[in-house]
Amino acid sequence: MARRKKLYEGKAKILYEGTEPGTIVQYFKDDATAFNAEKKDVIDGKGVLNNRLSEFFMTGLTQLGIPNHFIKRLNMREQLVRAVEIVPLEIIVRNVAAGSMAKRLGLEEGTPLPRPIVEFSYKDDSLGDPLVPEEYIAAFGWASQQEMDEIVSMALRVNDYLSGVMYGVGIKLVDFKIEMGRVYEGDFPRLIVADEISPDSCRLWDMETGQKLDKDVFRRDLGNLADAYTEVARRLGVMPSNV
Ligand code: C5P
């Protein structure tokens, strides 16, 4: 890949300079990591599936008028996206108690929440992405109050969209994480959904059997991760073989 400049390599993706100004090429790796990279493996085909699934979800958001970074898929593992100034927050929306929330509050996994809950972690691997209150976000200037209002409202719209799409194929959207970034057009920055939306960053449970179809399969050694993601792609009609 000497033909272009690598901008950043993360745990699951590599970012290269894009073909046009203001764009980035997002390459999806097969690497899977959990527990802040304490657990690692290479899952054949994961990058291809996540590239295709993120394209599917971002395109759906575009159709609903929810701005996001996706421009076009370039090939099996790469997509062209808009360059953003990333907001240093992981924006998590939960519909059902699971994972860190279930642990923190002593709730049984699977307990429905009274309403969707939006929470924020500060994006910093060396700190393990700690949960932060909105007070910190404002005080440290990670996002303005006006941006936070927009982030919450967009996150809930994404939740409505994703929950509906997944419900349609018999899958419960338990929770998910998104990231947002600023693009500069005219005088004011505008927020758009960035990074990726894939089973790496969602909890997806089969509505009938409760079978997990997301990264918990890897985190908790529940079986073959690529098989779980392939099942999600198959139900949504976005099999990588259709590319
Ligand atoms: O671990 P926790 O329960 O806080 O995760 C909530 C949701 O956010 C899960 O869907 C998980 O996959 C996602 N997440 C993520 N990246 C992180 C932390 C959480 O995609 N660094």
Q: What is the pLDDT of residue 242?
A: 47
Alpha carbon of 177 to ligand 1 centroid (Å): 6
Region 108-125: what's the mean pLDDT?
Answer: 98
Mind listing the domains of the chain with CATH numbers? 6-82 (3.30.200.20), 85-224 (3.30.470.20)
Q: What is the pLDDT of residue 185?
A: 87
Confidence of residue 186 (pLDDT cuts 50, 70, 90): confident
Confidence of residue 52 (pLDDT cuts 50, 70, 90): very high
Tell me which of 1-15, 47-61, 76-90 is least confident.
Answer: 1-15
153 pLDDT higher than 90: yes
Mind listing the pLDDT tens digit for each residue in 35-44? 989 999 999 9
Q: Residues 115, 160: contact at Cβ < 8 Å?
A: no
| Shortest-distance atom of ligand 1 to CA 174 | 10
Region 157-186: what's the mean pLDDT?
Answer: 97
Rounded to the nearest integer, the mean pLDDT of the chain is 96
For atom 11 of ligand 1, the residue with the nearest CA is 201
Q: What b-and-e string marks burial along 147-163, b requiring 16 or more CB atoms within 10 Å of the CB? A: bbeebeebbeebbebbb
Burial class, 54, CB count within 10 angstroms (exposed 0-12 / middle 13-18 / buried 19+): buried
pTM (two decimals) = 0.97
- Residue 11 φ/ψ, nearest 5 degrees: -70, -35
Alpha carbon of 197 to ligand 1 centroid (Å): 12
By percentage, how much of the chain surpasses pLDDT 90?
A: 94
Alpha carbon of 139 to ligand 1 centroid (Å): 24
Confidence of residue 82 (pLDDT cuts 50, 70, 90): very high
d(CA 61, CA 162): 9
Region 203-224: what's the mean pLDDT?
Answer: 98
Q: Which residues contact 102 (CB under 8 A, 6 or more apart)?
A: 108, 109, 111
Burial class, 42, CB count within 10 angstroms (exposed 0-12 / middle 13-18 / buried 19+): exposed
Ligand 1 site-directed mutation target among 111, 113, 175, 193, most atoms within 8 Å of CB = 175
Task: Find tokens 């745990």 and name the residue.
Answer: 11
Q: Chain-centre distance of CA 128, in angstroms? A: 17
Alpha carbon of 93 to ligand 1 centroid (Å): 9
97 pLDDT higher than 60: yes
